[in-house]
């Protein structure tokens, strides 16, 4: 009896998902998908003047690796969609702590936490294959939410004597542009993209910071 109740409960969702890839029936529909993203090691171009805030941070580790995601895509037309996605991963926030006796910096011990990314984008689809389509993506993202760290620096007087400590906090969130190309067939999508920004807290100077990524999405159906 319990199995029958579960099937009846899920039946509307299952029926909705059966036609979720129909190009001619998706205008005005909102779709829900789940998937995974993998970012490879960031690329940097320009003079690398590291910020003091980034001494205890590995920008490569913090911006690479796998993440899970879910997304909502609304088709304003059969080819143009507006989307939002949220990805998250449990990863390194700051490195192992140590005290540098020369510069008198102190950081907390290695800290892991949930790092979030939020993405707003527009996809334009092109039917170029008999059983699939390509789409181009332009969007704006908010990456590395949840990367706050605290640090301490000793203060000295004119004679070189320590007169106290200064405490501060910083985070390494940034807002890159999101460019991507994807291939969609039925309920699956494969995406190759690039997050790009010239303004992060890893460096004191502007530097092109590029994060290539791959995404796999599976459409669970219409909402």
> Which residues neighbour 15 within 8 Å (Cβ) at sequence distance 6 or greater?
none
Q: What is the pLDDT of residues 61-98, one digit of tens each?
A: 889 999 999 999 999 999 999 999 999 999 877 765 54
User: What CATH number should be reported for the domain holding residue 92?
Assistant: 2.40.128
- Residues of the domain holding 144: 2-222
Res. 160 pLDDT band, cuts 50 70 90? low
| pLDDT in the model for residue 176 | 95
Q: How many domains does the chain have?
A: 1
Cross-strand bridge partners of residue 121: 83, 139
> Which residues neighbour 116 within 8 Å (Cβ) at sequence distance 6 or greater?
86, 87, 88, 145, 146
Task: Specify the long-range contacts of residues 196-201, CB closer than 8 Å, at least 24 apart.
Answer: 198/46, 199/174, 199/175, 200/59, 200/172, 200/174, 201/51, 201/53, 201/54, 201/170, 201/171, 201/172, 201/173, 201/174
- The greatest distance separating any two alpha carbons of the chain, rounded to the nearest whole angstrom, comes to 83
Q: What is the pLDDT of residues 27-55, one digit of tens each?
A: 999 999 999 999 999 998 876 666 655 55
Answer for the pair 119, 84: CB distance below 8 angstroms, yes or no: yes
Q: What is the pLDDT of residues 112-156, one digit of tens each?
A: 889 999 999 999 999 888 889 999 999 999 999 988 776 666 666
């Amino acid at each position: 009896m319990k199995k029958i109740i579960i099937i009846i409960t899920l039946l509307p969702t299952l029926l909705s998902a059966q036609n979720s890839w129909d190009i001619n029936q998706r205008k005005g529909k909102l779709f829900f998908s789940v998937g995974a993203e993998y970012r490879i090691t960031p690329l940097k171009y320009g003079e690398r003047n590291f910020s003091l805030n980034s001494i205890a941070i590995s920008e490569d580790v913090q911006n690479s690796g796998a993440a899970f995601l879910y997304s909502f895509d609304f088709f304003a037309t059969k080819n143009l969609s507006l989307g939002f996605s949220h990805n998250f991963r449990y990863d390194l926030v700051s490195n192992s702590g140590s005290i540098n006796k020369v510069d008198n910096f102190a950081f907390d011990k290695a800290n892991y936490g949930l790092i979030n990314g939020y993405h707003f984008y527009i996809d334009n689809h092109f039917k170029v294959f008999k059983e699939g389509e390509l789409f181009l993506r332009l969007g704006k993202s908010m990456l590395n939410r949840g990367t706050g760290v605290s640090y301490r620096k000793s203060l000295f007087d004119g004679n070189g004597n320590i007169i106290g400590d200064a405490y501060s906090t910083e985070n390494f969130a940034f807002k890159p542009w999101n460019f991507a190309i994807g291939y969609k067939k039925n309920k699956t999508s494969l995406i190759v993209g690039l997050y790009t920004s010239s303004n992060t807290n890893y460096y004191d100077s502007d530097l092109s910071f590029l994060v290539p990524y791959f995404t796999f999405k599976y459409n669970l159906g219409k909402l």
